[in-house]
């Protein structure tokens, strides 16, 4: 049992898809979240830049007395996980492996589609993770660079989202995937539109959810779960609080204004 905190981070709002899941499955856990809203998006940046940003993000969270870290970002999980694991002794869980495992379990025809950021798709992280589980599964990936800016600006439904989504999912529909990984944690915020466009024959796998389930499993194994009935939540962002807390509040279905604070990240070293 432990009253330490779970640190969760992302480039912006996306990691909240993991936080929402964590609050449901482990309501007694104390959660501290960091969203690097001043520098989002990460997914269109170079590998080196993403690794540098990710290390600075984690350095901030490691000041908070953590018992585990959830890297609730497909992009960071794809390119920087070994760097982050080298910074701390607490478990650092990424989204790629647990999400790939869930997709392999779900597919019936052995055809999995991946929607992710440009950096995630370029890294081939999901291809490798799926191949390690079942080399016979066919994998088709599509980068969706417009999705993160849409979500960060509060466009979760409507014509703009529909237009971008139709364009991005068409190649996956053409090859007949039956399972699609929402490989960026921002994308589950667009799930109502995506699941309608894909239709009921396609199973969508939410990377934020799968990572949260994997983290819960790890804490259970380590006997590190909190004994509290209701945990505390604290959200930190690197830019304006109001934009984040407004959209986050809608998604989490609670007002988080009083729990959200702007911080300045150390960017030296």
d(CA 161, CA 156): 7
Name the residue nearer to ligand DGL (CB basis): 31 or 226: 31
Sheet of 30-35, strand order: 92-93, 66-71, 5-10, 30-35, 233-237, 260-262
Question: Which of 8, 9, 11, 139 touches ligand DGL (CB under 6 A)?
Answer: 11
238 is a contact residue toward ligand DGL (CB under 6 A): no
Q: Where are the alpha helices (DSSP H) in 26-145?
A: 47-61, 74-85, 96-106, 118-123, 125-133
10 is a contact residue toward ligand DGL (CB under 6 A): yes
Q: Which helix (H) or strand (E) holds 201?
A: none
Name the residue nearer to ligand DGL (CB basis): 207 or 226: 207
Q: How far apart are CB 184 and ligand DGL at their closest, in Å?
A: 4
Question: Which of 129, 144, 148, 177 touches ligand DGL (CB under 6 A)?
Answer: 148
186 is a contact residue toward ligand DGL (CB under 6 A): yes
Q: Where are the alpha helices (DSSP H) in 37-88?
A: 47-61, 74-85
Which span (9-17, 102-110, 154-162, 239-247) binds ligand DGL, by CB under 6 A?
9-17
Q: How far apart are CB 230 and ligand DGL at their closest, in Å?
A: 27
Cα–Cα distance list, 44 to 19, 49, 141 (Å): 24, 10, 16
Chain positions contacting ligand DGL, by CB under 6 A = 10-12, 14, 40-43, 73-75, 117, 120, 148, 184-186
């Amino acid at each position: 049992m432990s009253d330490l905190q779970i640190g969760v981070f992302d480039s912006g709002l996306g990691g909240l898809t993991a936080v929402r899941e964590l609050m449901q499955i482990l309501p007694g856990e104390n959660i501290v979240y960091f969203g690097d809203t001043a520098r989002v998006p990460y997914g269109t940046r170079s590998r080196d830049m993403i690794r540098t940003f990710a290390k600075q993000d984690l350095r901030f969270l490691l000041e908070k007395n953590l018992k585990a870290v959830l890297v609730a970002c497909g992009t960071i999980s794809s390119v920087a996980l070994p760097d982050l694991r080298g910074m701390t002794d607490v478990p650092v869980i990424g989204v790629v492996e647990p999400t790939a495992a869930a997709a392999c379990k779900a597919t019936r025809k052995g055809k999995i589609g991946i929607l992710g950021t440009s950096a995630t798709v370029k890294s081939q992280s999901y291809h490798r993770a799926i191949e390690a589980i079942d080399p016979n599964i066919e994998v088709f990936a599509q980068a969706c660079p417009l999705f993160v800016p849409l979500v960060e600006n509060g466009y979760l439904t409507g014509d703009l989202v529909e237009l971008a989504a139709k364009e991005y999912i068409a190649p996956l529909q053409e090859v007949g995937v039956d399972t699609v990984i929402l490989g960026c944690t921002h994308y589950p915020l667009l799930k109502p539109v995506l699941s309608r466009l894909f239709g009921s024959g396609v199973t969508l796998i939410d990377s934020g959810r799968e990572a949260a389930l994997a983290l819960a499993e790890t804490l259970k194994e380590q006997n590190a779960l909190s004994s509290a009935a209701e945990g505390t939540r604290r959200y930190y962002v690197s830019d304006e609080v109001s934009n984040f807390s407004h959209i986050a509040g809608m998604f989490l279905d609670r007002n988080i204004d009083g729990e959200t604070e702007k911080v300045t990240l150390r960017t030296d070293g």
